[in-house]
Amino acid sequence: MTVEINKSIPDFEADSTGNTPFKLSDFIEKKVLIYFYPRDNTPGCTQEGKDFRDNIEQFSAFNTIIFGVSRDSVKVHEGFKAKQEFPFELLSDKEEKLCELFDVIKMKNMYGKQVRGIERSTFLINEEGVLIYEWRKVKVKVHIEEVLQKLQELS
Partnered with residue 130 across adjacent β-strands are 8
Distance in angstroms (rounded) separating the CA atoms of residues 49 and 117: 18
CA distance 89 to 44: 18
Q: Do the Cβ atoms of 53 and 61 come closer than 8 Å?
A: no
Query: Active site residue: 9, 45, 138, 151, which one?
Result: 45
Taking alpha carbons only, the member of 24, 39, 31 closest to residue 153 is: 31
Catalytic (active site) residue 45: yes
Catalytic residues: 45
